């Protein structure tokens, strides 16, 4: 369960309060504030705070005094221009703070994104909950035969049941030992900071994660992508749903230029021109490696 009834009551109480401000707010984000959006079996993302909106991006780009908006079309056009030309600093004027609950092995991938501010739940100070990520059966997949960094079809039948049983049993056994080691009942009890080392990487942790919109887009570009591991991708997808409501113009430009767009090498551009001129270009005549050619063809054939 991602959220206990007590935690939900705290969230409801926080949502019951409001503050008057002359700062820009975004109705879509106000609706998301504090709410836990479930991800995986026990995880979530929650918006804790945000700063700025689409207008903050154009305002910074124009270094204007007031709203500085000439028209909505102008603002959207300017945001698209900034995104297209990698003029990134105006996007850094918007910030978001999320509370994320995620398995430790997902956190290890996530923390590689260094341009954020993080504060993690302390398992030196506090006791971790008995919560482990156990994949749903359709995500319990075999090793991919074409990509060492990926997965293939879902495991089936007896093998799937056996793997699920191993995951559940090992997780619970490790947690039982964790509890036994830290217990102060009739013994000194091992320090929490040591006892945690015996827990598996599917145990859940939590953090507050604050990042600006430019670096968030970079994170989403990599982690909402089909090549990202499913377990981090679902978090990125959940964040995308929030960002859409926060900065709709910027998100739409991001979807178009970054998620939907493609980057071609110099050789790729040259091959494209030769193809458009009617030449039958092959991998051998393209000057590209087999891998590059495969990726190039995936871009032009879709």
Query: Which residues are the active-site residues?
Result: 223
Q: Tell whether residue 221 is a contact of ligand FAD (CB under 6 A).
A: no
What are the structure tokens assigned to 275, written together? 């193809």
Q: Return contacts of 265-271, CB within 8 angstroms, 24+ apart.
A: 265/292, 265/296, 267/292, 268/292, 268/296, 268/299, 271/296
C-alpha distances in angstroms, 71 versus 28, 76, 234? 21, 9, 36
| Cα(18)–Cα(237) distance, integer angstroms | 28
62, 192, 218, 267: which one binds ligand FAD (CB under 6 A):
218
DSSP letter string, 88-156? -GGGGG-EEEEEEEEEHHHHHHHTT--SSEEEE--TTTSPPPS-B----GGG-EEEPSS-TTSEEEEP-
111-150: which residues touch ligand FAD (CB under 6 A)?
A: 112-115
15, 168, 177, 227: which one binds ligand FAD (CB under 6 A):
227
Is 82 within 8 Å of 200 (Cβ atoms)? no
85-114: which residues touch ligand FAD (CB under 6 A)?
A: 112-114
Q: Pseudo-torsion of CA 16, 18, 24, 28, nearest 10°?
A: 10
Residue nearest to ligand FAD (CB): 114
Q: Tell whether residue 215 is a contact of ligand FAD (CB under 6 A).
A: yes
Q: Which is nearer to ligand FAD, 23 or 114 (CB)?
A: 114
82, 155, 228, 242: which one binds ligand FAD (CB under 6 A):
228
CB of 3 to ligand FAD, least distance (A): 28
CB of 277 to ligand FAD, least distance (A): 35
# residues contacting ligand FAD (CB under 6 A): 9
* Binding mask of the shown chain, residues 165 to 204, with x at each position contacting ligand FAD by CB under 6 A: ----------------------------------------
CB of 214 to ligand FAD, least distance (A): 9
Binding site for ligand FAD (CB under 6 A): 112-115, 215, 218, 222, 227-228
């Amino acid at each position: 369960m991602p959220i206990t009834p007590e935690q939900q009551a705290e969230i409801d109480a926080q949502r019951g309060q409001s503050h008057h401000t002359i700062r820009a707010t975004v109705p879509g984000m106000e609706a998301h504030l504090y709410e836990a959006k479930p991800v995986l079996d026990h995880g979530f993302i929650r918006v804790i705070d945000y700063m700025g909106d689409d207008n903050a991006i154009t305002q910074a780009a124009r270094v204007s005094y007031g709203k500085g908006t000439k028209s909505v079309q102008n603002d959207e056009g300017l945001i698209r221009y900034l995104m297209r030309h990698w003029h990134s600093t105006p996007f850094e004027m918007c910030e978001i703070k999320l509370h994320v609950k995620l398995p430790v092995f997902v956190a290890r991938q996530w923390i590689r994104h260094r341009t954020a501010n993080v504060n993690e739940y302390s398992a030196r100070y506090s006791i971790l909950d008995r919560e482990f990520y156990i994949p749903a059966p359709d995500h319990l997949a075999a090793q991919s035969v074409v990509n060492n960094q990926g997965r293939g079809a879902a495991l089936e039948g007896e093998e799937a049941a056996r793997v699920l049983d191993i995951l559940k049993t090992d997780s619970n056994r490790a947690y039982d030992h964790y509890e036994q080691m830290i217990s102060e009942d009739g013994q000194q009890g091992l320090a929490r900071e040591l006892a945690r080392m015996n827990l598996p990487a599917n145990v859940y942790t939590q953090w507050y994660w604050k990042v600006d919109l430019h670096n968030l887009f970079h994170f989403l570009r990599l982690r909402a992508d089909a090549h990202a591991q499913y377990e981090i991708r679902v978090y990125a997808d959940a964040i995308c749903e929030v960002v859409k409501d926060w900065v709709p113009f910027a998100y739409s430009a991001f979807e178009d230029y970054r998620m939907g767009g493609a980057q071609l090498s110099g050789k790729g551009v040259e091959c494209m021109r030769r193809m458009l001129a009617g030449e039958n270009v092959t991998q051998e005549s393209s000057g590209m490696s087999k891998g590059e050619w495969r990726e190039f063809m995936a871009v032009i054939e879709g």
